[in-house]
Structure 1
Amino acid sequence: MTGTRNGYLLVGAMASIGAGAVHFLAAGMHTEHATLARLMVVLAAAQCVTGLLVLVTERKAVALSVLAVNGFAAAMWVFTRFADVPWIAGLTAEAPQVADTVCAALGALAVLAVGVGLVRPGASLPPLRSGIAAAAVGVLALAAMLNGVGHVHSHGDGDHAHAAGEDHSHGEHPDTGDAWPRPFDPTQPVDVSGVPGVTAEQEQRATALIRSTLDGLPAFADVNTVGALGFRSIGDSATGYEHFINTGYLRDDAFLDATRPESLVYRVDGANRTLVSAMYIAKGKKIDDPDLVDYGGALMQWHVHDNLCWRAGDNGPQVAGVTDEQGNCPPNSINPGSGNPMVHVWIAPHQCGPFAALEGHGAGQAGTDGRRTDTCATGHDHGGGHK
């Protein structure tokens, strides 16, 4: 390259350093996922180091390393706006936020500026312009980090951010100790930590499921549109909650997929319906299947209903009630048995946790001993539901 400094490389280097600085902050806000946090630290270091090297040398190999590192970072940001990376716990699809968007934009700017510098090695920006551009990059990165201190990552409409200084310990909980379940608030960080007997992998899977449900389920919020997707009410609105089943999703191979939930649960308020929970159904599996039992351990409670009575309806099967003490159903209805295991994941606040049961008449059984870990102390009104 020429003996004079290339202004485009300078801007690209500063953009790469700025993106790395934002990534360092983001890594600190993802410490609940150790592997993800470590990978973010490595990426941040690579962006900073390659950017610094470009400031001291214009070797083509160094410039190409900036292109590679920042191109990868920007591409991953785009990919994770739409899809999860299943082999990295915590790297789930999420809506764009200020900090991560600025970080991706700085990475893209680094690629663009260094690319121009490589294609036009003799070109340069006037010193004043390159200085202003570098200063603007620094200000932008600083603003993104200040924003990220209180709001690094969110997931869907729940906007459950991790704020700096927040007490997010994995030990005792002020009100509940290590007890499970504990109250769930989707506007707060997901915390399923500290439950005896639950492994780190089970915590990670349960957390990822809650977050993916918070992200994906609001797509079904309008009850007037889900019929076109194949959902049909089972006619249980009198309980205070109404379930809509999708038999097409029930027959497919999706498992705990928020884009294809087998059942939706709406809170009933007169003619209004508010989406509050997914009810995932594991067709063809037994309730003691290791795929179910080991997924979230004691955090999640798969259950079955062995006392529901069903009748034919105009739009599919309808709940007619529950069996009486003799095991009999109301006239013109039948009890088909326990059916397929299911589990709730809430996107609305619930005193009994993110996997809470709809307690009450016909609440279902868990395994052979009938114990449930998705219920909590009495005295809370859950609408009298029964699924």
Structure 2
Amino acid sequence: MTGGRHGFLLLGGVAAVGAGGLHLFAAGLHTEHATLARLMVVLAAAQCAVGLAAMVSARKAVPVMVIGVNVVAVAVWAYTRFAGLPWPDGLDVAEAPQFLDSTCAVLGVVAVAGAAVALVRPEAKLGVPQAATAAGMSGVLAVAAMLGGAGHVHSHGTGDHSHADGDHTAHDHGTGNAWPRPWDPAKPIDVSGVPGVTAAQEQRATALIRGTLDDLPAFADVHSIGALGYRSIGDSVTGYEHFINTAYIRDDLFLDAKHPESLVYRVDGDNRTLVSAMYIAKGKKIDDPDLVNYGGALMQWHVHDNLCWKAGDGGPQVAGVTDAQGNCPPASINPGAGNPMVHVWITANQCGPFAALEGHGAGQAATTPGGSRKDTCSHDHSGGHR
């Protein structure tokens, strides 16, 4: 093997070891998902093994192994930025790229590139001193990613932890971790530091917000959604109008921003501005672990057990709420609590990205003592809705 070829392989080997170290570090951040953590350890061991082999061996099989292991690692990372995997738990929801995982992927790409050049272009030159310099830079990048990840672990998560100035000033009274906190989609998503919320819950909540911001604007034109099966429930008098798609309520999709069960528009005369999705979970109870554990204390699933409904031309219409005796207005009925629901806002809201209507008719949550809800806040802000 020529010195040049060895230099490229050395670079690929060090990058593979760096990626493996980051995967081992990340495994410690996913201990709530034992299978995922174990798989990360196995992948880390494989990357470190082939990386070390590349540093000490000139055999042709070595760059092939470096390429194979790291292609798998990078491919899985790339796929899970856009879609979830059915297995293992912890990768079931697409996650926005973060510095730690992105650095790991970059090092994996460098490992593949270095090994590929060493394998197919032995005439390419990269001296050992130059390779050692590049390898040292890869090591520094890996350490920086670990330090950044360590800070996120301290704040109970590895989701999007970018903090925008002023995000924590209105409602957290200086604690930095109170929830809910003001939400502005123009600023980085920040659900970090909430006591009791796991890293996986932060990641799922962040991914849900990100996906809703990306996909929900496709429904911005209220005049086009009728063709998609959406019908108003006739509550525009409240200042917000809900449009429900009963076909999406019956399907098996869960928290899918491309198929939201309900759309919420702010009412301004004849104008309607899309402000929120209202996701509805089919066939689940309010205390179902799939709902309670999805975002933990960040999200509050709720039901409406005091709404009265009547028949309308386009489908069921809200007629009001039950009175103190539990009675509905004439020609309407109260069917009781239905499928649990949760909101995600794509416009600013002082009560957070999952805010809901405060006061009478707001719905009940059975997962906290007395049914109180964590997706509301005690201040008098407009913008809450059912």
TM-score of the two chains, using structure 2 as the length reference: 0.70
Counterpart selection for 2:18 from 18, 21, 30:
21
Q: Say which SS state the counterpart of residue 221 (structure 1) adopts.
A: helix
Give me the whole-angstrom Cα distance separating, in 2, the residues matched to 1:280 and 1:118: 51
Alignment match, 1:342 = 341
Amino acid of the structure 2 residue aligned with 1:310: W
**Identical-pair percentage:** 52
Question: Is the counterpart of residue 58 in structure 1 residue 54 in structure 2?
Answer: no
Q: Say which SS state the counterpart of residue 338 (structure 2) adopts.
A: coil
Q: Say which SS state the counterpart of residue 210 (structure 1) adopts.
A: helix
Alignment match, 1:221 = 217
Are the counterparts in 2 of residues 11 and 134 from structure 1 also a CA contact under 8 Å? no
Alignment match, 2:262 = 263
Q: CA deviation at 1:319?
A: 2.2
Report Cα offsets for 1:9-51 as digits up to 9, x if no partner: 5324413523653675687688653466786576456435533
Are the counterparts in 1 of residues 93 and 204 from structure 2 also a CA contact under 8 Å? no
Are the counterparts in 2 of residues 21 and 44 from structure 1 also a CA contact under 8 Å? no
69-78 or 80-89, which deviates more: 80-89
Q: Say which SS state the counterpart of residue 371 (structure 2) adopts.
A: coil
Q: CA deviation at 1:296?
A: 5.8
1:91–1:310 CA distance, 2 compared to 1 (3 A):
closer
Are the counterparts in 1 of residues 159 and 192 from structure 2 also a CA contact under 8 Å? no
Alignment match, 2:7 = 10
Are the counterparts in 2 of residues 16 and 51 from structure 1 also a CA contact under 8 Å? yes
Amino acid of the structure 1 residue aligned with 2:301: W
1:370–1:364 CA distance, 2 compared to 1 (3 A):
farther
Report Cα offsets for 1:195-247 as digits up to 9, x if no partner: 4xxxx7xx456434412311321201242165554333323233233323221
- Alignment RMSD: 4.5
Q: CA deviation at 1:54?
A: 1.6
Give me the whole-angstrom Cα distance separating, in 1, the residues matched to 2:38 and 2:341: 35
Alignment match, 1:183 = 181
Give me the whole-angstrom Cα distance separating, in 2, the residues matched to 1:328 and 1:379: 30
Amino acid of the structure 2 residue aligned with 1:336: P
Give me the whole-angstrom Cα distance separating, in 1, the residues matched to 2:278 and 2:205: 12
Amino acid of the structure 2 residue aligned with 1:21: G
Q: CA deviation at 1:366?
A: 3.1
Are the counterparts in 1 of residues 12 and 115 from structure 2 also a CA contact under 8 Å? no
Give me the whole-angstrom Cα distance separating, in 2, the residues matched to 1:352 and 1:178: 14
User: Gaps (5+ residues) in structure 1?
Assistant: 165-172
Q: CA deviation at 1:64?
A: 3.1
Give me the whole-angstrom Cα distance separating, in 2, the residues matched to 1:73 and 1:148: 18
Report Cα offsets for 1:142-184 as digits up to 9, x if no partner: 67986997799x9xxxx963369xxxxxxxx8756987x4425
Alignment match, 1:107 = 108
Report Cα offsets for 1:295-336 as digits up to 9, x if no partner: 666665433223223344454333232234455544554433
User: Gaps (5+ residues) in structure 2?
Assistant: 153-157, 164-171
What is the aligned length?
359
Alignment match, 1:33 = 30
